[in-house]
């Protein structure tokens, strides 16, 4: 029982990270049809933002905020420098562009900072745990679940209640029509990138707070999982991205915790097989994007 609750918390915490990364991918994809392979580097950049501001002596909470801001700036810079000129290009050209951006940034991280993990020393309280009903639960995973819920709540508010959020939903449905209402395409696209960057920044905050280090590949592997989550949930569907993220995170934690040692090398293979099995039954994903969307 104790172990199950702990694993559940770990699953929610990891699933939340995947969910936020997958959401960022899905928001950008739904509007500009870009599968942003460089999304992981936005998260990594946020991580280095935290690392560097700690090095320069900022208190931990301020450093986390700077990390968030760094991720947003990176997302906007990426859109401006690489993707804006490619607007309207086909999905494959956009994907290849994002590969290039991803590689360039990874090389810059390796040569500019370090190829190896750099440590971040957060207050020890963050890595402690507390007792509840006789169970020992980590502070960081608990906090990350709250942060995830808060982020998803804020995003829902923006998309449902604010005009810019409505415009983003409209853009996902019919971007050309939105322009025929006088809306500047660049504004909506920039807003989508800013939100995806913010979510990647939140993921970076949670990730570094739990692991205490940053390396050039920090964002790459979680974003791979987030890709799987978006496909599992239904490419371009925001609800699907969140659901997919939690499913992939949960599968990963459960296989880690409960598989016999002899099978642990096959963990990713088992998770992926489960995803493929789902897609065989539901090829459009668990919660497909609305049909009838114009491209």
| Contact positions vs other proteins (CB under 8 A) | 163-164, 166-167, 169-170, 173-174, 176-185, 290, 292, 294
What are the b/e assignments for 177-205, b being 16+ CB within 10 Å?
ebeeeebebeebbbbbbbbbbbbbbbbbb
CB of 166 to other proteins, least distance (A): 5
> Closer CB to other proteins, residue 282 or residue 290?
290
* Residue 189 CA from chain centroid, whole number: 18
> Closer CB to other proteins, residue 117 or residue 239?
239
CB of 81 to other proteins, least distance (A): 21
> Closer CB to other proteins, residue 163 or residue 280?
163
Residue 154 CA to residue 178 CA, distance in Å, equals: 24
| CA 275-3-127 angle, 5° bins | 95
Is 110 in contact with 231 (CB distance < 8 Å)? no
Q: What contacts 259, CB < 8 A, 6 or more positions away?
A: 267, 270
CB of 185 to other proteins, least distance (A): 7
CB of 289 to other proteins, least distance (A): 10
> Closer CB to other proteins, residue 46 or residue 240?
240
């Amino acid at each position: 029982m104790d172990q199950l609750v702990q694993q559940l918390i770990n699953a929610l915490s990891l699933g939340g990270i995947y969910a936020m990364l997958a959401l960022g991918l899905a928001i950008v994809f739904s509007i500009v049809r870009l599968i942003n392979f460089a999304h992981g580097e936005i998260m990594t950049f946020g991580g280095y933002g935290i690392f560097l501001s700690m090095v320069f002596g900022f208190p931990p909470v301020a450093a986390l905020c700077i990390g968030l801001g760094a991720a947003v700036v990176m997302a906007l810079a990426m859109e401006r420098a690489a993707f804006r000129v490619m607007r309207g290009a086909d999905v494959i050209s956009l994907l290849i562009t994002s590969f290039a951006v991803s590689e360039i940034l990874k090389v810059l991280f390796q040569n500019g900072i370090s190829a190896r993990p750099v440590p971040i020393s957060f207050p020890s309280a963050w890595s402690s745990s507390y007792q509840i009903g006789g169970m020992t639960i980590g502070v960081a995973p608990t906090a990350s679940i709250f942060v995830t819920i808060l982020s998803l709540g804020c995003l829902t508010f923006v998309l449902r209640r604010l005009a810019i959020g409505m415009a983003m939903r409209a853009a996902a449905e019919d971007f050309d029509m939105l322009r025929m209402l006088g809306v500047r395409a660049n504004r909506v696209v920039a807003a989508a990138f800013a939100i995806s960057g913010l979510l990647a920044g939140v993921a970076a905050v949670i990730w570094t707070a739990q692991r205490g280090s940053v390396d050039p590949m920090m964002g790459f592997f979680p974003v791979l999982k987030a890709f799987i989550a978006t496909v599992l949930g239904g490419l371009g569907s925001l609800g699907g991205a969140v659901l997919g993220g939690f499913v992939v995170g949960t599968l990963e934690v459960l296989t880690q915790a409960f598989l016999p040692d002899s099978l642990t090398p096959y963990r990713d293979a088992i998770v992926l097989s489960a995803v493929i099995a789902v897609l065989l039954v539901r090829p459009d994903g668990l919660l497909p994007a609305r049909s009838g969307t114009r491209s």
